[in-house]
Amino acid sequence: MKRVLTGSTLLLLAIGAQAAPRGLTAEDVVALDRVSAPLLSPDGKRVVYALREADVPANKAVTSLWMVPLDGSAAARRLTSGSASAVSAQFSADGASLYFLSPRSGSMQVWRLPLNGGEAQSVTDYALDVGSYRVSPDGKQIALSFEVFTDCPDLACTSKKLAETAAKKSTGVLYERLFVRHWDTWKDGRRSQLFSATLDADGRASAEPVKVSVGIDGDVPSKPFGGAEEYTWSPDSRSLVFSARIAGQSEPWSTNFDLYRVPADASAAPVNLTADNPAMDTSPVFRADGLVLYYLAMKRPGFEADRLAVMEKNLSTGATREIAPGWDFSAGGMALSSDGKRIFTAVDDRGSHPIHVIDIATGKARRLPGVGRVEGFDVGRDALVFTRSTLTSPAQVFTSRLDGSGERTLSAFNADKLNDVRFGDYEQFSFAGWNGETVHGYVVKPWNYQAGIKYPVAFIIHGGPQGSMGDSFHYRWNPQTYTGAGFAAVFIDFHGSTGYGQAFTDSISGDWGGKPLEDLQKGWAAALGKYDFLDADRACALGASYGGYMVNWIAGNWNEPWKCLVNHDGVFDLRAMGYVTEELWFTEWENGGTVFDAPENYEKFNPVNHVANWRVPMLVVQGEKDYRVPVDQGLATFTALQRRGIPSQLLYFPDENHWVLRPQNSIQWHNTVKEWLERWTR
């Protein structure tokens, strides 16, 4: 049985270790236990969290639920077995039971585990997989989402239609409007829809749930990554509020999500609460008295990286206000303090991702102490619980007071697996980038750094492009896998990155190859001037998504410094991308219109127009199921390289999407990239 290590045990392991020190490897990364989703019990005395454990030889992973006393008085104990995953935990109102989702019965259903002993009991047993759920505050009802055909009167109808389709000898699918595929899935006509069911005295859900998202031609929750955070129960358990984008013909180019309120028994149609905002409204949270709704909202339709403002809506008067209009950050997950006076949210903030707390009455916000990336959190009466990672540590579970003081660690997973691993030291630096504005970056030393030695460099370019690469432990683009192989790593939060104010984020739109390229050039020069261990003659640039686009742009517009390049799922031809990607709102916002309305915008920074200048060896990585930057973009890149006679390789994954997720594939990906870098920097 796995045991959570205390700080003292971790120290003893380190002291007693005999293995020679080494750097981090891809094999280490995929084998690490991953902790997430901390949850406080209603009495504030216990913490439940999820732990993902990889079975690398079997090429799979299983997630289980664990519980530990908040005061650390006892070791954590496993609540669910490792035979089937258990995710999305929720305490019952009295804290006596824990609900969760699991496929242990053969399909994904809701289960309830009594915490005073006994086996988990099934709450639902439906013909379809449960996508997400929320138990009502009074514990008598449950909200559920399912993938259904919207013209079906019950769940069995959807199940029957799927079986009939599978039995057909023909395989053709006829579409009449766009969004025929999304992320990594071809659409079959089903939508994610919201239902409610009553719970009997034994805690079992009613035989047939009631559809509450009636008349909503959209997904509730949204796809591909939306979950239960997009809907909520009212405190009196009589109604639900959910976020939805009405699809119609405009679905591929619309970001207009609205909040709808509906009776839990579906006795009336959903009512739109935010029809006056043509952009995104999401993540609803009720005040305890049910009279006020808090939520997150964007202001500019069509812009997926617009600032998410914290909003307050009086449900009696309809009055709406932004709580902290002068706070120049984009809110992430949101939680209310128990007294209803403060909102806690985690945000990108200058290369890290800490928790900020906002006073609702005044709008005054402040950052709580701590470095690294907070990846999940929960708020109790007197304490915070959160998971946080850094560039030198996978995520662990922490607790602190509500003001961030008194921080303590509640877990030390992976101590045995990383006992002989030495991470490279890192620091953030800044320089004058485009237009003399301050830009930040990070440098990470090789794990075996010695003064006076120059090291080859992995110059990593983050994706998004409205994203950030900073102080966190990433399971795909982890700088320590390069420093573990003897490289130094440098990465820049160029104009367009998040966490430096919305104007900084906005600045990349329409200028993909302009300001960001100048920032990368000046950041590289600044790093070389500041850190004498960087070998300018042995450096490779690499990136994915927008980072892959920038690698293609660099190949034709700034190839002098690089011995090699790595392009993972990167855009090769912006014009073709504007017609073949699925989320058209992204390409159309970034390029100021459609391809046919503004063709010159797509050509201004189009890598395909500069292939004649390509000369640097490039590794191209592409997933077949990537519908965001589809496979033809990678194949075109590789074709251009081969026809130009440039040394190149194509690493193709028939079973991966925009990311490489399977353990064995991840190892192959990491090691192929490492070998490519080593080949050209020896």
Residues recognised as catalytic = 545, 626, 658
Q: Which residues, other chains included, contact 141 with Cβ-Cβ below 8 Å and sequence gap of 6+?
A: 135, 196, 197, 198, 199, 233, 237, 264
Distances (CA, A) of 12 to 75, 166, 410: 17, 57, 17
Rounded distance between C-alpha atoms, residue 363 and residue 34, angstroms: 35
CA 522, 523, 527 angle in degrees (round to 5)? Answer: 120
Rounded distance between C-alpha atoms, residue 642 and residue 622, angstroms: 16
Which residue type occupies 102?
Answer: S
Contact 235, 248 (CB under 8 A): no
Rounded distance between C-alpha atoms, residue 90 and residue 100, angstroms: 6
Q: Which residues, other chains included, contact 444 with Cβ-Cβ below 8 Å and sequence gap of 6+?
A: 391, 424, 425, 426, 479, 480, 482, 483, 488, 489, 490
Residue 387 has phi, psi (to 5 degrees) of: -105, 140
Rg over alpha carbons for the chain, rounded to the nearest Å, is 25
Closest to 178 in 3D by CA, of 606, 627, 622 = 627
Half-sphere exposure (CA, 13 Å, Cβ side) for 601?
A: 17
Rounded distance between C-alpha atoms, residue 220 and residue 306, angstroms: 22
SS3 77: strand
Contact 659, 528 (CB under 8 A): no
Q: Which residues are registered as beta bridge partners of 114?
A: 97
What token pair was written down for 332?
Answer: 């992430």
H or E stretch at 156: helix 155-167
Cα dihedral 368, 369, 373, 378, rounded to 10, equals -50
Please report the DSSP string for 442-483 in residue order.
EEE--TT--TT--EEEEEEE--SSS----SS--SSS-HHHHH
Rounded distance between C-alpha atoms, residue 65 and residue 2, angstroms: 12
Going by the DSSP 8-state scheme, the letter that residue 183 receives in this structure is T
